[in-house]
Structures are given as structure tokens and as C-alpha cells.
């Protein structure tokens, strides 16, 4: 009871507040509690409102000085904003300057704009985010059970930086019991010296040791460039536990396909040493203009990789030795080269003219919108299949010649009508004849398997080492069918081109013997085992060797050890 009295001189009830600990005197005859609830509400609001001089130290957070909690909240929001902007730029390959675009700022909230980072801050944030994940990646790879293969490639970015990238390949077994192939990028390192084999080996060594994988790498996948061969030889000297040099080097088969196609088309290309025009027998100004147009089109594109040219030249060997560095493929380099006949449908010279005409058409349609509109209208009128366009033949783009020839065949009727148009068509000397269409049809038949296989290899998760030998056998059979010419339907020009391609194919077929991985993977493939070897009529000694290599790898690395 309270010492205070009410109006009737009776002692009042004292209610003690649990928040402020003050006594609230209330007469006993008044059963209403509204004033008590009002007092309780006021105390709760006072308790929830932070004082102006409150800091993190008063909340028990030490080592922060006099930082205001509201300032800490603003700092957290700023860090979050930088992280999200860095992820947006990294995942979408956006330039850092994109955050400073006025059109982007107009759709952002004013609070976001207030904390929007600069391009330098985003660049640093991306590096910090990557470094923060490295420890997690190292731990994930450390506990992984199974083989690890390293993919290595070097290229130049659009802004002129030379980069070498490394990707680790592994099989992951999820909780459901299914296994999938996983490709995880490891690192990207800027190259600051000449791309020699020794320098590339040092960069690969740096990446591998950075993630502590030097004794776990079972093989390396890369292009067929000469400096990569030297790189593999230098890595062999490091004495890694499971990597033994060239036997564990897996050459990029898509790159090999591109080399074979280039060898086939090389007989139809212009001689680099020639200083004349493409059509040496013609003096027409119109043809010179057309050739200038073709050369200008080629100049717009990047030059063919010097590495690919070097590999192609090295592989096309003469019977008594390798070609010199400055040698091109000549008639003497191809075995059983056939002479042309007067009744041939087309010759090597006419093929060069035909391909030049096709490039002229593609360039004309690209450069002239009016010609393109007229061409599309003719395609629709003649019910040509879509797309109504002639693809460009770009030297640095794989299968671009096949795609151009396919579009020529697809739009054949429209091309015949369009080229006759004096306003929008081509000059008479560039008109495409039936001979040109015959060449296009034959080359499409020859190049289509390369396009299909490249498409399969480029599809994520569909490329298998076990299928490389099968694909090479398929290519060999297709080229051999053209060379033998049982139906007498292919002229010598095309058969000679296929001989050059077959020479490249046989070269890399023989290189599969240098690595046991190809044969082991075929033996372990449930659809092949040793049956494919028998169907392909391999000698029994070759089959026994493949089985021996498989058994040897199992006993060395995968057979359970006797713990006793």
C-alpha cells in the first residue's frame, strides 16, 4: 500500500512500473487501468528510442571507438552496394564504366546512386571477392576424391591484355548417386612476356602450386601449338607425381578439326607469294574492283593465328622430311596428286574463282541495305529456306566456309535472279554459274561432318575422349570415299584437296598412340570396350596393348590397397 491518501482519506494502492521502477499511486475504488497503460506505453517508447550520444561501445562492441550505429549501417549498405555492382559486372562481362552511364543512373533509386561505386572501386572489389573465395576452392579441391585434369589456353582480350586461363575438370558425385562432369575455372593470369613454352610452363606451375594441385594433375588439355608442346616438356621436368609429360597431354580435337579443314581449303586459296590479282587471265576493271572488295573484307577480320599456320605447315610433311618454315603446301607435298582433265567439272583455279565470287556476294549483301532487301524479297518469292542471307567467310571463325557454302546452296534460286539485277546485283564477271554451285554442293558434302563434330564438341558435357578415335575413323572414311571416287562424281581438284586433309588426319591419328588415355577411355566406355577395336579390325597386338594399359592404370592408381 502507498503512504499517500485518496480524497476519502484512505491509503492508495502503489503499482510499481517494471520499466522505470517508479511507483504509480492509484485509488482502490477506481477499477480503470487506462492511466497505468498510458504510463507503460510512454516507458516503452522511451526505452526503444536510442539516445543521441549512444555509440557501439555502449552496446558492448569494443575496438570501434565512437562510431555511431547509424553510420555503421550506412557503411554496411555501401559495402553491399559495391559487392552487388562487382558481381553484376563480373557475371555479365560488363565494362566498369557501365555503372557511370547516365541511362543506367536514371533507373536506379536515389539512395543507390548516393552509394554507387566508381569503376576503380569495382575493379578492386572483384579482386577482393575472388581472393575471398580462393581458400574455399582450395579446400574443396583438397577433399575431392578422383582425378583432376587441367585445361590451359592463352588469348588476348579486346582491350589488348594477354591472358592465360586454367580450368580444372573433374567428376562430381552428388548425394543422389549421379555423376556429372564439372569444369571449374581456377585462375586467369596476365602474360607479360613472349609466349614461349618455358614462360607458359612457369605460369601453369604458378597456378597449379597456388591451389596445391601439383601432385594431383593427371593430364593437361590444350591446343596443338608448338609452344604448348614445349610447355608440356617443361612441366614434365618438374616431376609431378601423376603427370608424365606428353603421354598425359590431350590435344584439343576441335582445333585439329579446324586444321584439317584448312588443309582441304588450302588448295583453293590464293597463293600468298603471288602478286597478281585473283583472276590473272582477266583484265576487267570490274573484276579488280570485286577482288579489292574481297581483300578489303578479309582485312577487316583478324589474321589467321600464326600458331595454327605453324602447326599446319609442320604436319604437311614431305616424303623425305618436314616442310621448311617458309614453305606452303604445294603439288609436290601431296602423294598421288592427280592431273586435271579438260572435261573436269571444276579445277583448283576455278575453285578459287568460285570462292571469291561467294565472298563478293556476302560482302555486297552486308554493305548494301538495298541489295539485301531485294535479295530477301527474291528469297521469299522463290520459297527459299530461312535464313535469307549469305554468311560471311571469316578466316578466324571455325566452319565459316561451310556455313557460307550452305547458305549459297540454300538461296541458289534467289542468287541466280538477284545477280542479274543491274541496280542491286553484281557485275557480269562475278555472276555465279552452275559450275560454282556444283563446287559448293560438293564442298558442303565434304565439310558437313566437320561442322557436325565441332558442334558436338562445343556442346557442354557432350565431348568425350573415348569418342576421338571414332570421330577420326569417321573423318578418314569420308575423305577416303571422296579420294577413291568409285562413282566418278568428284573431279581431281576436290580429291586432291581431300588428300591434303587426310594427311593431317593421319598425322594426328598417329599421335593418339603417344597417349594411352585415348585407348584406356575406349576400353572403359560401356558401349565400346574392346568390341570397337575388333570392328575397326585393329591387330590383336594393338588390342592387347590397350587392355594392358587399362589394367596397369587400374592397378597403379585405383585398385584398393591391402590395409593389413
Tens digits of residue pLDDT in 392-418? 998 888 899 999 999 999 999 999 999
- Would you say residue 211 has pLDDT above 50? yes
The CA distance from 274 to 429, in Å, is 22
Taken in order 296, 298, 304, 309, is the CA torsion positive or negative?
A: negative
pLDDT given for residue 543 in this prediction = 92
Length of the chain (residues): 564
- Would you say residue 554 has pLDDT above 80? yes
Strand order in the sheet with 162-173: 179-190, 162-173, 148-156, 217-222, 249-251
Beta bridge partner(s), residue 184:
168
The CA distance from 548 to 527, in Å, is 19
Task: Name the range with the highest mean pLDDT among 30-39, 77-86, 194-203.
Answer: 194-203
pLDDT given for residue 68 in this prediction = 55
The CA distance from 364 to 290, in Å, is 10
pLDDT given for residue 318 in this prediction = 40
pLDDT given for residue 51 in this prediction = 56
- The three grid cell numbers given for residue 176, joined into one nine-digit string: 543422389
- The three grid cell numbers given for residue 336, joined into one nine-digit string: 598421288
Q: What Cα–Cα distance (Å) separates residue 240 from each residue in 145, 226, 244, 338, 415?
A: 18, 22, 7, 50, 60
CB 215 within 8 A of CB 240: yes
- The three grid cell numbers given for residue 500, joined into one nine-digit string: 591434303
The CA distance from 205 to 164, in Å, is 12
Residue whose grid cell is 556429372: 180
- Would you say residue 261 has pLDDT above 90? yes
- Would you say residue 56 has pLDDT above 70? no
495-532 per-position pLDDT tens digit: 999 999 999 999 999 888 888 999 999 999 988 888 99
- Would you say residue 307 has pLDDT above 70? no
Region 62-74 average pLDDT: 55
Phi-psi region of 383 (alpha: psi -120 to 50; beta: other; left: phi over 0): left
- Would you say residue 72 has pLDDT above 60? no
- The three grid cell numbers given for residue 190, joined into one nine-digit string: 596476365
- Would you say residue 311 has pLDDT above 90? no
126-157 per-position pLDDT tens digit: 888 888 888 888 888 988 888 899 999 998 88
Please report which helix (H) or strand (E) contains residue 250, including its range.
strand 249-251
Residue 173, classed as helix, strand or coil, is: strand
The CA distance from 178 to 347, in Å, is 55
Q: What is the DSSP letter of 462?
A: T
Q: What is the CB-side half-sphere exposure of residue 215 using CA atoms within 13 A?
A: 3
The CA distance from 146 to 262, in Å, is 38
Residue whose grid cell is 585393329: 538
- Would you say residue 375 has pLDDT above 90? yes
- Would you say residue 348 has pLDDT above 70? yes
The CA distance from 166 to 148, in Å, is 12
The CA distance from 253 to 471, in Å, is 10
For the chain, what percent of residues have pLDDT higher than 70? 81
Q: Which of 64-68, 208-212, 493-497 has the lowest mean pLDDT?
A: 64-68
The CA distance from 120 to 142, in Å, is 34
Say how many C-beta atoms besides its own lie within 10 A of residue 5's C-beta. 12
pLDDT given for residue 73 in this prediction = 67
Region 68-78 average pLDDT: 66
Nearest to 410 by CA among 434, 441, 431, 435: 441
- The three grid cell numbers given for residue 141, joined into one nine-digit string: 579441391
Q: Where are the beta strands (DSSP E) in 139-178?
A: 148-156, 162-173
Nearest to 361 by CA among 427, 288, 301, 296: 427
Amino acid at each position: 500500500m502507498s503512504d499517500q491518501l485518496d480524497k476519502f482519506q484512505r491509503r492508495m494502492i502503489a503499482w510499481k512500473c517494471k520499466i522505470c521502477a517508479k511507483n504509480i499511486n492509484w485509488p482502490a475504488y477506481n477499477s480503470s487501468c487506462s492511466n497505468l497503460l498510458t504510463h507503460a506505453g510512454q516507458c516503452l517508447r522511451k526505452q526503444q528510442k536510442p539516445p543521441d550520444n549512444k555509440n557501439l561501445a555502449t552496446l558492448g562492441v569494443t575496438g570501434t571507438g565512437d562510431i555511431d550505429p547509424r553510420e555503421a549501417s550506412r557503411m554496411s549498405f555501401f559495402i553491399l552496394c559495391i559487392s552487388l555492382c562487382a558481381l553484376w559486372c563480373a557475371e555479365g562481362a560488363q565494362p566498369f564504366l557501365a555503372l557511370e552511364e547516365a541511362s543506367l543512373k536514371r533507373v536506379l533509386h536515389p539512395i543507390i546512386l548516393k552509394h554507387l561505386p566508381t569503376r576503380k572501386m569495382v575493379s578492386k572489389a572483384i579482386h577482393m571477392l575472388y581472393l575471398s573465395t580462393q581458400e574455399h576452392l582450395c579446400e574443396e579441391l583438397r577433399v575431392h576424391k578422383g582425378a583432376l585434369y587441367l585445361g590451359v589456353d592463352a588469348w588476348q582480350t579486346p582491350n589488348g591484355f594477354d591472358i592465360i586461363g586454367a580450368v580444372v575438370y573433374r567428376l562430381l558425385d552428388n548425394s543422389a548417386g549421379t555423376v556429372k562432369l564439372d569444369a571449374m575455372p581456377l585462375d586467369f593470369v596476365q602474360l607479360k612476356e613472349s609466349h614461349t613454352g618455358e614462360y607458359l610452363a612457369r605460369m601453369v606451375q604458378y597456378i597449379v602450386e597456388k591451389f596445391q594441385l601439383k601432385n594431383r594433375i593427371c593430364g593437361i588439355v590444350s591446343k596443338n601449338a608448338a609452344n604448348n608442346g614445349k610447355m608440356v616438356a617443361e612441366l614434365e621436368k618438374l616431376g609431378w607425381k601423376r603427370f608424365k609429360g606428353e603421354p598425359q597431354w590431350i590435344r584439343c580435337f576441335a582445333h585439329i578439326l579446324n586444321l584439317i579443314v584448312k588443309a582441304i581449303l588450302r588448295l583453293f586459296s590464293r597463293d600468298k607469294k603471288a602478286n597478281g590479282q585473283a583472276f590473272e587471265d582477266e583484265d576487267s576493271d570490274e573484276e579488280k574492283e570485286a577482288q579489292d572488295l574481297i581483300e578489303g573484307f578479309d582485312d577487316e577480320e583478324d589474321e589467321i593465328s600464326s600458331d595454327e599456320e605453324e602447326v599446319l605447315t609442320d604436319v604437311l610433311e614431305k616424303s623425305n622430311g618436314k616442310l621448311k618454315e617458309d614453305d606452303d603446301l604445294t603439288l609436290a607435298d601431296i602423294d598421288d596428286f592427280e592431273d586435271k582433265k579438260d572435261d573436269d567439272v571444276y579445277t583448283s583455279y576455278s575453285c578459287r574463282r568460285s570462292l571469291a565470287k561467294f565472298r563478293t556476294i556476302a560482302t555486297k549483301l552486308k554493305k548494301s541495305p538495298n541489295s539485301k532487301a531485294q535479295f530477301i524479297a527474291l528469297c521469299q518469292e522463290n520459297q527459299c529456306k530461312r535464313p535469307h542471307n549469305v554468311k560471311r567467310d571469316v578466316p578466324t571463325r571455325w566452319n565459316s566456309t561451310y556455313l557460307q557454302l550452305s547458305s549459297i546452296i540454300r538461296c541458289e534460286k534467289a542468287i541466280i535472279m538477284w545477280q542479274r539485277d543491274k541496280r542491286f546485283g553484281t557485275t557480269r564477271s562475278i555472276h555465279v554459274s552452275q559450275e560454282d554451285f556444283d563446287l559448293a554442293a560438293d564442298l558442303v558434302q565434304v565439310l558437313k561432318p566437320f561442322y557436325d563434330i565441332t558442334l558436338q564438341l562445343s556442346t557442354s558435357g557432350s565431348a568425350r575422349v573415348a569418342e576421338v578415335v571414332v570421330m577420326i575413323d569417321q573423318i578418314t572414311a569420308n575423305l577416303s570415299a571422296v579420294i577413291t571416287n568409285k562413282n566418278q562424281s568428284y573431279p581431281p581438284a576436290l580429291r586432291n584437296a581431300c588428300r591434303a586433309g587426310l594427311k593431317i588426319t593421319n598425322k594426328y591419328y598417329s599421335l593418339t598412340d603417344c597417349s594411352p588415355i585415348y585407348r584406356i577411355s575406349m576400353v572403359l566406355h560401356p558401349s565400346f570396350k574392346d568390341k570397337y577395336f575388333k570392328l575397326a579390325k585393329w591387330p590383336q597386338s594393338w588390342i592387347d596393348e590397350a587392355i594392358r594399359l587399362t589394367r596397369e592404370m587400374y592397378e597403379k592408381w585405383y585398385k584398393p590397397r591391402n590395409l593389413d
